[in-house]
């Protein structure tokens, strides 16, 4: 690691994000960098400039190039961030995933400025209140399916999101309490859904549909976080498996015909628990039958773990951008400088660019 230019100063936002992405406290960073905790606080608040030897010390402690602490970037605001996580998840764990998502968004944004992204699908902003006083999100899901000309089961949620210009990055999280975080597009990056790669395929599909609901609906109205989550979940269930298409199957669900749930799951790529909840909502199951069904699902191993029959394609849009940059004549060292990652780090995060990329939704500038 070479010493940075003495005229380069760190972006305090990047220092804070890099620290949080490690899951470190300010004291931990101070110990690693050989400074005081108050020094870290003043740097992150923007009161104290960070440059020269001190910048190098921070970069070495955070195991990143000094340049990565200096890039222009503004973290995603709270109103532009959507978490899919357990309510009891510790704040520092949320911060770690959120910071990691911001750092990835920064890198994707630096790539995207060198490409002309032409999404195949438009990503509308729809207000559920325009369709119904209650449960308008169901109609929003139906409208979006018609807009995107979707009929029947969706083959790949990842493919759909990327076709709409939403970058998807899947990485195994350190914290299983968090499924995903979505960053709405801003000055420095496009839409990003950062999702736990360890999720079972049916849960992955539901999570991606849930985040799509946030992107489509949450820019239009201000609602409480609890209501936003409920709305996104209802949207996701309808978007993945429209009630008009699954009504016949739901009406056949009972403790004696649990195999009907397996068939619905394999056809629509949605968890059996989701179908049981929708059957209850339709009045097809009493409270007692509902509890009995969930007990049966637990006893038969249908609730948790990976079960065969559902697949979900991996992300390919970022790989596609990288391949196009290479085709346009960018050298490996130039791509290293753009992404602030080594070839190995890029392959780990975005997938090897030597693989055939199935997404072609952009042209170069």
pLDDT of residue 315: 95
- Does the pLDDT at position 331 exceed 60? yes
pLDDT of residue 351: 85
pLDDT of residue 364: 37
What are 276's two structure tokens?
């049981």
pLDDT of residue 221: 67
Give which of 90, 101, 83, 93 is closest to 228, Cα–Cα. 83
* Fold match flag (1-72 vs 115-238): no
Whole-angstrom Cα distance, residue 357 to residue 324? 11
- Does the pLDDT at position 357 exceed 80? no
pLDDT of residue 79: 74
CATH code, residues 115-238: 1.10.10
Q: Per residue in 1-56, pLDDT tens?
A: 454 455 489 999 999 999 999 999 999 999 999 999 999 999 999 999 999 999 99
Strand positions, DSSP E, the chain: 81-85, 115-117, 167-171, 178-183, 192-196, 362-364
pLDDT of residue 175: 82
Percent of all residues in the chain with a pLDDT value above 90, rounded to a whole number: 70
Mean pLDDT of 283-312: 84
pLDDT of residue 220: 65
* Between 35 and 312, residue with greater pLDDT: 35
- Does the pLDDT at position 125 exceed 80? yes
pLDDT of residue 256: 84
- Does the pLDDT at position 66 exceed 90? yes
Whole-angstrom Cα distance, residue 113 to residue 35? 36
Confidence of residue 306 (pLDDT cuts 50, 70, 90): low
pLDDT averaged over every residue in the chain: 90
Measured from the Cβ of residue 153, the count of other Cβ atoms closer than 10 Å reads 14
- Does the pLDDT at position 109 exceed 60? yes
Whole-angstrom Cα distance, residue 363 to residue 46? 38
Q: What strands lie across the sheet with 167-171, from one edge to the other?
A: 81-85, 178-183, 192-196, 167-171
What ranges do the domains of the chain cover? 1-72, 115-238, 243-299, 316-364
> 1-72: which CATH architecture?
Orthogonal Bundle (1.10)
pLDDT of residue 74: 93
Mean pLDDT of 162-187: 94
* Between 298 and 39, residue with greater pLDDT: 39
- Does the pLDDT at position 264 exceed 50? yes
C-alpha dist (Å) from residue 132 to 136, 218, 245? 5, 16, 21
Confidence of residue 335 (pLDDT cuts 50, 70, 90): very high
Distance separating the N- and C-terminal Cα atoms of the chain? 32
State pTM to two decimals.
0.91
- Does the pLDDT at position 363 exceed 80? no
Mean pLDDT of 102-108: 97
């Amino acid at each position: 690691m070479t010493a940075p230019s003495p005229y380069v100063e760190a972006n305090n936002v990047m220092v804070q994000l890099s620290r949080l992405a490690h899951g470190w406290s300010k004291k931990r960073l101070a110990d690693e960098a050989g400074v005081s905790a108050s020094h870290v606080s003043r740097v992150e608040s923007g009161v104290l400039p960070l440059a020269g030897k001190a910048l190098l010390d921070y970069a070495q402690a955070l195991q990143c190039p000094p340049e990565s602490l200096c890039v222009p970037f503004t973290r995603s605001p709270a109103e532009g961030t959507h978490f899919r996580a357990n309510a009891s998840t510790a704040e520092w764990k949320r911060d770690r995933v959120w910071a990691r998502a911001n750092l990835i968004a920064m890198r994707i944004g630096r790539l995207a400025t060198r490409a002309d992204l032409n999404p195949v699908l438009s990503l509308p902003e729809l207000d559920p209140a325009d369709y119904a006083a209650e449960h308008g999100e169901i109609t929003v899901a139906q409208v979006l399916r018609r807009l995107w000309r979707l009929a029947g089961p969706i083959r790949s949620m990842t493919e759909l999101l990327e076709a709409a210009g939403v970058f998807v990055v899947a990485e195994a999280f350190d914290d299983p309490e968090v499924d995903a975080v979505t960053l709405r597009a801003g000055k420095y990056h496009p839409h990003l859904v950062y999702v736990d790669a360890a999720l079972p395929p049916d849960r992955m599909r539901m999570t991606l549909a849930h985040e799509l609901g946030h992107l489509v609906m949450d820019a239009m109205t201000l609602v409480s976080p609890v209501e936003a989550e409920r709305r996104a979940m209802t949207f996701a269930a309808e978007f993945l498996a429209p009630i008009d298409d699954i009504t016949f199957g739901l009406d056949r669900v009972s403790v004696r015909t649990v195999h009907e749930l397996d068939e619905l799951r394999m056809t629509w790529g949605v968890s059996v628990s989701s179908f049981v909840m929708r059957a209850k909502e339709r009045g097809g199951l009493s409270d007692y039958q509902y509890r009995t069904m969930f007990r049966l699902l637990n006893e038969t191993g249908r609730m948790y773990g990976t079960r065969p029959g559902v697949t979900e394609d991996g992300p390919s849009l970022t790989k596609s951008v990288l391949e196009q940059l290479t085709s346009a004549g960018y050298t490996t060292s130039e791509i290293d400088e753009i992404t602030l990652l080594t070839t190995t780090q890029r392959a780990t995060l975005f997938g090897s660019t030597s693989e055939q990329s199935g997404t072609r939704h952009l042209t170069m500038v």
